[in-house]
Copies of this chain bind each other. A is one copy, B any other.
Amino acid sequence: MGFSLIPKEEKFFDLFETQASHNVEAAKAFKELAQKWSLESPIFDKLRDIEHEADITTHEIIDKLNRTFVTPLDREDIHELASELDDVVDIIQSVSSRMQLYHVNHSSDDLVQMSDILWQATENVRKAVGSLKDMSNSRRLLDYCIEINRLENAGDHGLQVAISKLFSGQPDPLEVIKWKEIYEGLEAATDKCEDIANTIEGIVVKHG
């Protein structure tokens, strides 16, 4: 039997925090890329590295979950949270990779603004995840979640503005195909932060 009967509660929370930090790091790097766009930027490689590190952390959590008999949170909540946290960095990296592949030769104000919102969302996710260990302060935790919801709405609005501009006039259809995917990808990352907030809210209620 590979099960450990002694719960190592702290370790799960530490690993969630590591995941959340990877997300902040990736969102910050992407924002910098959007601000100073260059197809030769070292940030593309940096994002690949972060994604790789994040992947290792996620596997560590899932593996620990499968080997641990008594867990500090419901098993399905641990699985959900780990997967959702992993998705954020995955999406950010894949958007940057697609932009490189498309030889996108400029950024846009909308991209900068959307990446700023995403970065703020990941910061609030990191704070919320960091507060999971001590659920006595559930008010603070829920405040972070409310802020993430606000940012997701802002991200959604940002996407609508960007898409509206993208289709206005007589745009090049190939540019539309590329940028629609880029903007929708970035919004999906912010959306995923809201999923994380919902998962955290659920955890708080169960332990409330």
Contact = CB atoms under 8 A, between A and B. Distances in A.
Interface of A: 1-2, 62-63, 66-67, 76, 97-98, 101-103, 160, 163-164, 167, 171, 173-174, 176-178, 180, 198, 202, 205-206, 208
Contacts of A174: 167, 171, 173, 176
A206 B160 contact: no
Contact of A102 (B67, B97, B167, B208): B167
Contacts of A98: 163
Contacts of A167: 101-103, 174, 178
A18 to B, nearest CB: 20
A205 B163 contact: no
B102 A202 contact: no
A203 to B, nearest CB: 9
A2 B63 contact: no
Nearest to A102: B167
Given A174-B171, A174-B176, A177-B173, A205 B102 contact: no
A98 to B, nearest CB: 8
B202 A163 contact: no
Contact of A163 (B63, B76, B101, B171): B101
A202 B62 contact: yes
A205 B3 CA distance: 9
Given A102-B167, A174-B176, 4 more contacts: A62-B198, A101-B164, A103-B167, A177-B177
A39 B176 CA distance: 22
A164 B180 CA distance: 17
Nearest to A173: B173
A63 B203 CA distance: 10
Instruction: Tell me which of A160, A163, A171, A174 has the highest count of chain B C-beta atoms within 10 A of its own C-beta.
Output: A174
Closest 8 CB pairs of A and B: A173-B173, A66-B205, A2-B208, A66-B206, A66-B202, A101-B164, A173-B174, A101-B163
